[in-house]
Structure 1
């Protein structure tokens, strides 16, 4: 899950573009497209990922090629919750979400509760809450069965419905996901429309997108230009259907690195066994790790204090009723010195 959260940064160049944009309303339009791009692969992967253990972490340092580095930590277990911090030379992104799943008839709905905060070096700050997604039990049971789904990419039906509101101090954007729309086949149920407003509620930009393929923006007004295609999703690598429909970026996230914390997801032995195709052994080991976690919780109590994040109500951009965790930067210091005394022992059996 922590790696899946980091996958939303695949099209981080959109935030780079936004950081350089002088037009505030185009800046928030670019953020809209970034948010949309984060959903681009969810219909290709509806199977349940590994649940991170409490205290499990995941870091990604892409400063050389993408200009940012990120760190995520699992901060709660029931319901599962995680905090993520990303920093670049031009922007930062923080998010904290609790993820709850609910069964509604033959559908499973995933409801994230929390918020994302994006800050640019020019001082502009924007925040939003993610929308719920739902998929059918049939999609989950038959994920990967191209004959059942009639799609060479093993694509499954995923619905995203409702309005996602991005708020800034001088502008806001409203994205509408038409998950239950009866639009033409060109758009299917993945059609997204959006509008950007100034403080006087005057419309300045429009956004149109298909969340798995493309997004474009249009400036409103006398001096408006033609619509501009801002984003197109990247093609999946060859034989991706044999690699869980991972994008190249997702594949790279799974590569082992030297010097990462002993709690990093890539050090999970059950996950490595799964990658080697030893699913029976992986499942047995997974159960052992989860049992060890239950024993730790029973011994130390349910209240877990994150090792690398602290509760900070002042950072809460949307609702003071929702907890928000601030990254302390201590992780990078620990990595520089390779002092991992703060890390719990999670993966020993």
Structure 2
């Protein structure tokens, strides 16, 4: 069954009503009327006279001289009717077909609106004729407005209202969530997870109060906020520069997590999420929950001459006062053969997402792999929650012995306060070719990445203040995320590759960011529904529990979350065969590989995961 967009249906009805009113108006010469010695009615082209002597006989004719402005107004009206019909057809196709044509429908409706408004303004300009009298933009004193002109004006205004209604759903990202985060001060996370000590928390259901209004599939998509680094890596001048950019991208994926002490919603088995980004950083993201026990999320991203894929298997355990999250599975970044190590525009050679197909080995030029480091959440029992990453990230080039090894400095409870501050969220690393060091870097993974152009300086003690602006992460407080200087010290040859920046946000939005789950503008946009993509009913955007939490309705969100969990358990019991993902398939290495079939956009066979109807 087709999911109908109420906003589109409303606009379609308004456009259809406008077209009907305009059609009636230009077919009846009742634009202006006179009752002097009978009744005379005149339209854009035709004039009718009803003599007082022959009350039952009306004579209609086209005058010898028709004002040019009225002919223009008539022509514009005819074209506008055609455009309104096209608009209605495109909207209907978008609702009942497999292709979204709303964007083209908006354009046709917008042009029709302009033509109708011009016609309504041009008509009064024709009153400076001898047969009628009057002057431009002023009605004659012995004439009155007719019903046809009134209906035409109403039709023109309906097109204006229709366009205004459609702009509500234009693809402009929203600035903030509908409602702020609820106060958690009276809730204890320990009371929820004390029963899960040493166990996998991914199998436990936690109260909605500790959730954020995103699915895990959407949270993974947030890693692509700085995907332009991958675009730049594809066209980098040297191998070292490419490694710097890829490593900076991996570091950037960590920055958004440091303030986020909320858990995303667990995706249902078969749940999907699609994100199609346009502009300077173009990519197409598709994710599917392909396994429930253990939970596995399969991801595929198609970018400008590159692809990124992953099988993510999160494992979260509670150990005493800390929660430890480990992500099994690897990320694979592939660069296509038609790219080269040369300085060129990252906008070139972008492969359209609509033509995306499964990538064969002979299309791949370079492959880079890595795993997400371990994240630890501190102060679960008491104090303010905060998290850090620990361990190493080994980014390997599979076609050679080149690699980038990131070492993240762990927090030490026994170090001095000055040492804790100096090393918190810091990392260092080298780029290798075998055992030879080709390059070095350092930075703050909550804020910046610096390449060290002179590797001999790495042994020196950094003493220069970080020059990166942007927005540093908030640590151990709930104050505003203001533009703060980085506390990282750099070397003379340190060169900024990346820094976290929220330049699109106003000062007031930054001040209130802690009230909205510390969502960045990118994260805030992830749950918006878009007209340019026709989404399957399995998309995370259709989850009502996330929708209710966005609205601040904790009771409705809790009830819907419980309903979906019970529904999933019931479906699992009734299922007689093993679940098969729709858009990914398992290979011989037990990794889920993207099939490319999603691009055909045939979603009729998709299950209605979030529906309450029994025939879903």
Give TM class, smaller chain.
0.7 to 0.9
C-alpha contact (below 8 Å) 2:440/2:455 kept by paired residues: no
Please identify the structure whose Cα radius of gyration is greater. Answer: 2
1:348 and 2:601 are equivalent in the alignment: no
Aligned-pair CA distance for 1:185: 5.1
Match of 2:557, SS state, is helix
Distance 1:302 1:277, change over 3 A: farther
Aligned-pair CA distance for 1:137: 5.1
Match of 2:233, SS state, is helix
Which has the larger helix fraction?
2
Match in the other structure for 1:184:
419
| Alpha-carbon distance in 1 for matches of 2:318, 2:577 | 26
Where does structure 1 lack aligned partners over 5 or more consecutive residues?
A: 142-147, 150-155, 314-319
Deviation string for 1:4-31 (max 9, x for gaps)? 1000000111111111113112211211
Match in the other structure for 2:494:
227
Match in the other structure for 2:557:
282
Trace 1:188-227 onto structure 2 (pairs within 5 A): 188-199=423-434, 201-220=435-454, 226-227=493-494
Deviation string for 1:19-78 (max 9, x for gaps)? 111311221121111101101021211222111101111100013342111111111123
- Which range moved further: 323-332 or 181-190? 181-190
Match of 1:39, SS state, is helix
1:157 pairs, out of 386, 392, 403, with 386
Aligned-pair CA distance for 1:242: 2.0
Which has the larger strand fraction?
1
Match of 2:528, SS state, is coil
Where does structure 2 lack aligned partners over 5 or more consecutive residues?
A: 1-215, 340-364, 459-491
Match of 2:281, SS state, is coil
| Alpha-carbon distance in 1 for matches of 2:379, 2:268 | 25
Trace 1:1-349 onto structure 2 (pairs within 5 A): 1-121=216-336, 122=339, 123-136=365-378, 138=380, 149=384, 156-168=385-397, 169-170=399-400, 171-181=402-412, 182=415, 184=419, 186-199=421-434, 201-220=435-454, 226-235=493-502, 237=505, 238=509, 239-258=512-531, 259-301=534-576, 303-313=578-588, 320=589, 323-334=590-601, 339-349=602-612
| Alpha-carbon distance in 1 for matches of 2:437, 2:454 | 7
Match of 1:175, SS state, is strand
C-alpha contact (below 8 Å) 2:290/2:580 kept by paired residues: yes
C-alpha RMSD over aligned residues? 2.1
C-alpha contact (below 8 Å) 2:425/2:446 kept by paired residues: yes
Aligned-pair CA distance for 1:189: 2.4
Distance 1:120 1:204, change over 3 A: same
| Alpha-carbon distance in 2 for matches of 1:44, 1:134 | 13
TM-score by length of 1: 0.87
- Which range moved further: 297-306 or 167-176? 297-306
Quick one: higher RCO (CA 8 Å, sep 6+), 1 or 2? Answer: 1
| Alpha-carbon distance in 1 for matches of 2:525, 2:577 | 34
Distance 1:302 1:133, change over 3 A: farther
Aligned-pair CA distance for 1:301: 4.8
Deviation string for 1:192-249 (max 9, x for gaps)? 11110013x1101111011111111113569x99221011101383122221110011
Distance 1:228 1:302, change over 3 A: farther
| Alpha-carbon distance in 2 for matches of 1:257, 1:125 | 32
TM-score by length of 2: 0.50
| Alpha-carbon distance in 1 for matches of 2:455, 2:375 | 34
C-alpha contact (below 8 Å) 1:204/1:220 kept by paired residues: no
- Which range moved further: 263-272 or 129-138? 129-138
Length, aligned pairs only: 322
| Alpha-carbon distance in 1 for matches of 2:610, 2:592 | 25
| Alpha-carbon distance in 2 for matches of 1:195, 1:118 | 19
Match of 2:419, SS state, is coil
Match in the other structure for 2:117:
none
| Alpha-carbon distance in 1 for matches of 2:261, 2:396 | 30
Deviation string for 1:79-134 (max 9, x for gaps)? 32101111112211001111111111111111111000001124121001111111
| Alpha-carbon distance in 2 for matches of 1:325, 1:187 | 41
Distance 1:58 1:64, change over 3 A: same
